[in-house]
Amino acid sequence: LAKTTQPISMDSYEGQEVNITCSHNNIATNDYITWYQQFPSQGPRFIIQGYKTKVTNEVASLFIPADRKSSTLSLPRVSLSDTAVYYCLVGESPDKLIFGTGTRLQVFP
Amino acid sequence: DTEVTQTPKHLVMGMTNKKSLKCEQHMGHRAMYWYKQKAKKPPELMFVYSYEKLSINESVPSRFSPECPNSSLLNLHLHALQPEDSALYLCASSPQGQKDYNEQFFGPGTRLTVL
């Protein structure tokens, strides 16, 4: 199972764009890159998933370079409600996902 | 219905008690999961059920006993727990057999305190 490495914490201000990078050097050919968000005392919530290049949905974008050894979650114009822990996971199916340490994002007014 | 429900929300038990956690989903998902999460740590996978059969057991102590009575229900039976077992227990589900979509739907969790 591919291991991921993320910054432990990040700070931002409301309205700024936040980019969280995840390193996954031993990602396998069939692995997808998936990001989850977790608020305190709640279950994680799926944000976005990608395999290569760029994926965008209504809440975030995911950038994946050609070698797929890293990925960057981009949150446009964050608000206070985006304060949470963000997890990057790699795996080929839901039952093969391992949560890493995650990045604790704090958004200030 | 795109929700995973868990009961109870909070549970306090002694080390000699027997209790059960319950999880329910009605999304037709055939894979269900139990995770344990300690404060400021990531969720740790405990068990995976696939089509009501236990497919993954991550070397969890026998004082935790999972059960999947049907495709919508998942239980976690607790017996003779230790104070270090105090944690948030999360249930999740996902469509079975999906190799190209890694979304798990998580419940809100049960906050367990072992005295």
Residue A94 — φ and ψ, nearest 5°? -60, -30
Could you read off the pLDDT of A66-75 as tens digits, one per residue?
A: 999 999 999 9
Residues A90, A30: Cα–Cα separation, whole Å: 10
Q: Would you call A94 and B55 a contact, using CB atoms and an 8 Å cutoff?
A: no
* pLDDT-above-70 percentage for chain A: 98
Judged against a pLDDT cut of 70, whether residue B99 lies above it is answered with no
B99 touches A92 (CB < 8 A)? yes
Could you read off the pLDDT of B8-40 as tens digits, one per residue?
A: 999 999 988 999 999 999 999 989 999 999 999
Lowest mean pLDDT of A19-33, A38-52, A70-84, B89-103, name the range.
B89-103
B72 touches B25 (CB < 8 A)? yes
Which residue type sits at B63? R
pLDDT of residue B97: 64
Q: Would you call B94 and A102 a contact, using CB atoms and an 8 Å cutoff?
A: no
Taking the Cβ of residue A97 and every Cβ of chain B, the question of whether any pair is shorter than 8 Å is answered with: yes
CB atoms within 10 A of CB B49: 22
A12 touches A78 (CB < 8 A)? yes
Taking the Cβ of residue A45 and every Cβ of chain B, the question of whether any pair is shorter than 8 Å is answered with: yes
